[in-house]
Amino acid sequence: MIKHLLSMDQLSADQITHVLDTAEQLRSVTDRPIKKLPTLRGRTVCNLFYEASTRTRISFELAAKRLSADVINFSADSKSSVAKGESFKDTAWTLEAMGVDAIIVRHGSSGAPHQLARWVKASVLNAGDGSHEHPTQALLDLFSIRQHFKDFEALKVAIVGDILHSRVARSNVKGLVTMGADVTLVGPPTLIPAQATRWGATISHDLDSVIGDADICYLLRVQKERQNEQLFPSLREYAALWGLDSRRQARMKPDSLVMHPGPMNRGVEISADVSESPRSIILDQVANGLAVRMSLLYLMLGGDRPDSTETVRELTEQLV
């Protein structure tokens, strides 16, 4: 298995399947009276979060604890050394000096986890970097999809919304394309990056022409601050053109699914009734995140890491 998880580019279809299969077995632990395994006893995992997060941080913390690893939470807020001006590098070296085995990092700058991986001996897991990637979200989404569809081959997935700023979209496109799905990116032209044509996805600006054919409609959160950048006229117009309400959902195939990475803006990209409809698997996504993160921690930390010489530099070059 890989030493660092920085980007979905690192994972082949076989490796993704291995992560999901392992998660499948670990998921059953959640149904037992004793929800803990001794596997990573004596290992230390640090959550290093430079951006706000609820579900990702808690999910990683719980995943590590379920495997008996010790967990340190470091949030770069007013109470931390970052408020005193400590640099990212010094924080990394401080954690390294304390002997952590894995650092789970969220950072506002794209590429920050790659940089961190060069500085420390610990495994680095990207929990979201700028508008670049969020690989564990993509893996838990693939896991959630696999619970309903046996095969990714020819599965039609529409990812709708602000593709330009979305790390969730980037990681999901990579993962879905690797697994053989047909991905269509849907949104206003201002929110779809020019290079998206090279990702192996189709591009559309008309949700109504895509929705009837999709097996999965994956809605991205509208980052409300983007409205000030005038990338779309108003939230109301956004909802009318690219939001999923029950009227649009009614045109979807009978066994199709609705997904959202959270947190939701109900009434903007998704209406309240759609988010709570039987075809919505939004809460499954959250629950599955725990199993997928346990799987990654087990596969990446449980052992001597044979691929420890993996070339992070090459990966960083792909970023540009």
Partner 1 sequence: MARSRAGSELDFALKARVMEAADVRRALTRISHEIVERNKGTDDLVLVGIRTRGAPLADRVANSIASFEAVDVPSGALDVSLYRDDVALRGPRHLESTIVPVDVDGRIVVLVDDVLYTGRTIRAAFDAILDLGRPRAIRLAVLVDRGHRELPIRADHVGKNLPTSAHEVVQVHVTEIDGEDAVLIGEVHS
| By CB under 8 A, residue 1 contacts partner 1 | yes
CB of 34 to partner 1, least distance (A): 4
Q: Which two tokens stand for residue 178?
A: 């690797």
Does residue 23 contact residue 13 with C-beta atoms inside 8 Å? no
Taken in order 96, 99, 101, 103, the sign of the CA dihedral is negative
- Element holding 297 (H helix, E strand): helix 282-301
Binder among 12, 32, 198, 314 for partner 1 (CB under 8 A): 32
**Which C-beta is closer to partner 1: that of 42 or that of 85?**
42
Quick note: the x/- pattern for partner 1 over 268-307, rule CB under 8 A, is ------------------------------xx--xxx-x-
**Which C-beta is closer to partner 1: that of 31 or that of 314?**
31
Q: What is the DSSP string of 194-246?
A: GGGGGGT-EEES-HHHHHTT-SEEEEPPP-GGGGGGTSSS-HHHHHHHH-B-H
Binder among 12, 14, 28, 195 for partner 1 (CB under 8 A): 28
| By CB under 8 A, residue 210 contacts partner 1 | no
Residue whose structure tokens are 């959160």: 221
| By CB under 8 A, residue 25 contacts partner 1 | yes
Stretch binding partner 1 (CB under 8 A), from 3-11, 25-33, 239-247, 249-257:
25-33
Binder among 8, 11, 20, 26 for partner 1 (CB under 8 A): 26
Stretch binding partner 1 (CB under 8 A), from 23-31, 162-170, 209-217, 223-231:
23-31
| By CB under 8 A, residue 124 contacts partner 1 | no
| By CB under 8 A, residue 216 contacts partner 1 | no
| By CB under 8 A, residue 38 contacts partner 1 | yes
Binder among 21, 153, 276, 317 for partner 1 (CB under 8 A): 21
Angle subtended at Cα 241 by Cα 167 and Cα 141, rounded to the nearest 5 degrees: 35
Q: Which two tokens stand for residue 263?
A: 């947190």
Taken in order 193, 195, 197, 200, the sign of the CA dihedral is negative
In sequence order, which residues have a C-beta less than 8 Å from that of residue 139 and are 6 or more positions away? 8, 16, 19, 20, 23, 175, 292, 296
Q: Cα(47)–Cα(54) distance, rounded to whole angstroms?
A: 12
Quick note: the x/- pattern for partner 1 over 39-78, rule CB under 8 A, is xx--------------------------x-----------
Stretch binding partner 1 (CB under 8 A), from 7-15, 19-27, 236-244, 275-283:
19-27
Does residue 292 contact residue 140 with C-beta atoms inside 8 Å? yes
Q: Binding residues for partner 1, per CB under 8 A?
A: 1, 21-22, 25-26, 28, 32-34, 36-40, 67, 298-299, 302-304, 306
